[in-house]
Structure 1
Amino acid sequence: MDGDVLRDLVRRRAGLAAFVERDRAWRAAVDVVTRTFGDVAWIAELGSEDLDGGLVLRHLGGSRGSGLQGLQIPAGLGLTGKVFLQQRAEWVDDYFAASQITHTFDHHIDREGIRRLLAVPVMATGRVLGVLAVGARGDGVFGSIAADYAASVADEVSRAVAVADCARAARDAAVHAERSRMAAELHDSVGALLFSIGSGMATLVEAAGTDPILRARLRELQSHAAQASTALRDSLRALHASPTALELAVALRADCAAFADRAGIPAELVMLDDDLSLSPGRRPAVLSAVREALLNVEKHAGANGVVVTVSRHRAPERIVVAVTDDGCGISDDQPHGIGLTTTAETIERLGGRLTVTGDPDGRGTTWRIELPC
């Protein structure tokens, strides 16, 4: 039976699957159902939080074009969105005449020539990971046998995805432990050596007497030692950071660099804490919000510089991100634009809040979000 392909994948990769195996498992499910009883199939995965709990079509088989790839499906819309919302299998044997579904995506379905469609949820530990959908271009009926088979494939792929996710978590934990060990060794060896060099330079400066050239050279070397110590501290902070925090820092640093190149305004990222882990579903919302804040600075602030700070606050646990500029400021009663309003709504849906305040002296603006971890 074709379902053995997925069972074999689970057996062979158990404990060894890397993150890329998650995608391989999705693709295997699509291949199985298209070879067995469908003309076209797709996996709709959970999208980012700013989709408000919707889906994104990321894995397709048998499609005629690229129109379905990356299609966003809000919960409840179309057959795929309905199955996701209700968490049970459903099918329609005449898609365009079906009254039990919305027809939001009729244009996409028609371009693919699909006449019948079946969809089943992919679930793990009571949580929906996505939806497996199978379409046929000819007339006929799917029925419960086809639905049961699709459900069995969905069950197998959910196990493979769970194995891949556990393996990735274990790998990240091992990497984090090794990086922490390296950070401790560097702190005890290189850090102590740099401190000793700096202290020795300070003593030599005092002993150099009135020779201006020697004193200047010693102060220069002392400054270099201090700079090296600062660079080491930054490196140790990065080594201590969790893989998720590193991903967030890398993405934000890239956004700051892109903003600086585009706007000609210096932008600096400051990570104030080592533990800045954030769930993968919330990270896109944070990145999207920061990009909107930087865009507002570029358009309206007339700033000479921007600082993006990220910190972790406790009681309650939350991530705080602030974008501060030294521009013309903003009044408290100034209305928010569409971009800022949309960002605020997204953050509020995640249980957080967004505030924008101007400096009392009118010399800058601070945009700030607080988001539960």
Structure 2
Amino acid sequence: MGSSERSARERAVEQEQLLSSLLAERDGLLAVLDRVLALGGTAHLIRDAAGADAGFVADVEGTDQAVIRWLAGNRTNSLQDLVVPRGQGVGGRVLASGGPVRVNDYVSSSSITHQFDGQVQREAMGAMLAVPVLDSGRTVAVAYAALRGPGRFGDDAVVAMQAVARDAAQALRLADRAAASRDTAVAAERARMQTSLHDSVGAMLFSIGAQVRDLRITLPDNPLLASRLGRLEMDVSAASRALREALLSLSDATPERALPIELAEHCRSFEARTGVNCRFIQLGDVAPLDQERTSLLIAAVREGLLNAEKHAEASTVVVSLGEHDDGVGVAVADDGLVREPVVEPAGSGLGVRLLAEKAARLGGRVSLVHDEDGGSTLRMVLPTPTRQRRTR
């Protein structure tokens, strides 16, 4: 075999190994960005972490029960989709206590209830350990480890299981955030489709309908043509109704999605109109707001983008949305012209002053900051209704 041929084969092997590595990384990323894969993978990790014969995970539904969805090492389907109410069995005690629960022999333990003895016996399980998967102190899932036959899970097993539970909680947060991003992207696409249909098809149908009515009016002495134009007018009217129904279905968005979708759309419109790079960043989850607060925050972003377009000569604009200690806020920051550093609580422009007055009526605030390194930031923070009530 020549050296060139050997070198080519070695390169091929290296490329194959690199591809395998990339595919493994992709699978790992997908696993944490998908709730089902994340918890399914957790069930497999439990066996190694706790030295168990079987691992399984229950998803918490509501506040009073968990449902076992993901299993590894099971021999039967007796535990699959088993509903575990609060306080019942090992998992139910975890829901009630918020801490780890372990038994050396499930069916003979006096510390738990025994509604599920039959299912556990069919799996020949004895010792069992369960820990909560916690997110901000709230139990979102229950992770179980089990041995076949009597035995004992020591403190090391509890520590190992709690580590797995922490990783699972992080994976769930990533999965939920990814799902939220996908939902927001889908809703934004629906909004774009709605606008496109309204501006193109809607305008076309209106124009056709108007021309048909004009023809029918100007041709009163031709009953046959007038009849055909009448039928055409009814068809156009029916098509317009169908379009309106389609637009209504496309506009279906939950309140918590409405604000980020609207702000992202304004960023896209600004970038398309000006050619200036404009990014929207959501800094964590934001609770749904009422219409008045939502509209005012959107108006603040519009004003900030308008100022950046008219005065900033910026190369980049960033719009952010997030929760603050005292409410929900938006900010529009640009890297435009260098100005004297100044903070203007009510703003110098009429638009900003009006925003400040409206925000003040709701207990909020507006500031316009010109940075010494160039650029400016318009910020509005509004208290949520619950926080506003507590401060009164």
For Structure 1 versus Structure 2, the TM-score category normalised by the shorter chain is 0.5 to 0.7
Q: How many residues align?
A: 236
Determine which of 27, 45, 55 is the counterpart of 1:41: 55
Secondary structure (helix, strand or coil) at the match of 1:181 reads: helix
Q: What does 1:206-217 correspond to in 2, within 5 Å?
A: 206-217=217-228
Decide whether aligned partners of structure 1 residues 245 and 225 sit closer, same or farther in structure 2, where only a CA change above 3 A counts: farther
Hey, which bits of structure 1, 4+ residues long, moved more than 4 A? 8-12, 243-246
Q: 1:194 is aligned with what amino acid?
A: L
Q: CA shift at 1:138, angstroms?
A: 3.0
Q: 1:225 is aligned with what amino acid?
A: V
Q: CA shift at 1:212, angstroms?
A: 2.4
> Does residue 126 in structure 1 map to residue 137 in structure 2?
yes
Distance 1:94 1:244 in 2: 49
- TM-score, scaled relative to structure 1: 0.59
Q: CA shift at 1:35, angstroms?
A: 3.5
Contact 2:209–2:237, Cα closer than 8 Å, also in 1: yes
Secondary structure (helix, strand or coil) at the match of 1:43 reads: strand
Deviations for 1:323-361, whole angstroms, at most 9, x for unmatched residues? xxxxxxxxxxxxxxxxxxxxxxxxxxxxxxxxxxxxxxx
Contact 2:105–2:149, Cα closer than 8 Å, also in 1: no
Distance 2:256 2:41 in 1: 31
Distance 2:256 2:224 in 1: 46
> Does residue 146 in structure 1 map to residue 160 in structure 2?
no
Distance 2:151 2:82 in 1: 27
Determine what percentage of the aligned residue pairs are the same residue: 35
Secondary structure (helix, strand or coil) at the match of 1:193 reads: helix
Decide whether aligned partners of structure 1 residues 24 and 102 sit closer, same or farther in structure 2, where only a CA change above 3 A counts: same
Distance 2:27 2:117 in 1: 39
Q: Which residue of 2 aligns with 1:201?
A: 212
Contact 2:32–2:172, Cα closer than 8 Å, also in 1: no
Q: Which runs of 5+ in 1 are unaligned?
A: 1-7, 247-312, 316-373
Secondary structure (helix, strand or coil) at the match of 2:188 reads: helix
Q: CA shift at 1:10, angstroms?
A: 11
Distance 1:192 1:29 in 2: 53
Q: Which residue of 1 aligns with 2:44?
A: 31
Contact 1:26–1:59, Cα closer than 8 Å, also in 2: yes
Q: Which residue of 1 aligns with 2:181?
A: 170
Contact 1:10–1:159, Cα closer than 8 Å, also in 2: no
Decide whether aligned partners of structure 1 residues 35 and 244 sit closer, same or farther in structure 2, where only a CA change above 3 A counts: farther
Decide whether aligned partners of structure 1 residues 10 and 77 sit closer, same or farther in structure 2, where only a CA change above 3 A counts: farther
Q: Which runs of 5+ in 2 are unaligned?
A: 1-23, 258-289, 293-392
Contact 1:92–1:118, Cα closer than 8 Å, also in 2: yes
Deviations for 1:267-311, whole angstroms, at most 9, x for unmatched residues? xxxxxxxxxxxxxxxxxxxxxxxxxxxxxxxxxxxxxxxxxxxxx
Q: Which residue of 2 aligns with 1:161?
A: 172
Q: CA shift at 1:113, angstroms?
A: 0.4
Q: CA shift at 1:31, angstroms?
A: 0.7
Contact 2:132–2:139, Cα closer than 8 Å, also in 1: yes
Secondary structure (helix, strand or coil) at the match of 2:125 reads: coil
Q: CA shift at 1:55, angstroms?
A: 1.0
Q: Which residue of 1 aligns with 2:357?
A: none
Q: 1:152 is aligned with what amino acid?
A: A
Larger gyration radius, structure 1 or structure 2: 2
Contact 1:10–1:163, Cα closer than 8 Å, also in 2: no
Q: CA shift at 1:139, angstroms?
A: 2.9
Contact 2:32–2:38, Cα closer than 8 Å, also in 1: no
Q: CA shift at 1:102, angstroms?
A: 0.7
> Does residue 13 in structure 1 map to residue 29 in structure 2?
yes
Secondary structure (helix, strand or coil) at the match of 2:76 reads: coil
Q: What does 1:245-260 correspond to in 2, within 5 Å?
A: none
Q: CA shift at 1:17, angstroms?
A: 5.6
Decide whether aligned partners of structure 1 residues 60 and 17 sit closer, same or farther in structure 2, where only a CA change above 3 A counts: closer
Decide whether aligned partners of structure 1 residues 98 and 9 sit closer, same or farther in structure 2, where only a CA change above 3 A counts: farther
Contact 1:30–1:60, Cα closer than 8 Å, also in 2: yes
- TM-score, scaled relative to structure 2: 0.56
Contact 2:46–2:144, Cα closer than 8 Å, also in 1: no
Q: Which residue of 2 aligns with 1:230?
A: 241
> Does residue 22 in structure 1 map to residue 35 in structure 2?
yes
Q: Which residue of 2 aligns with 1:292?
A: none
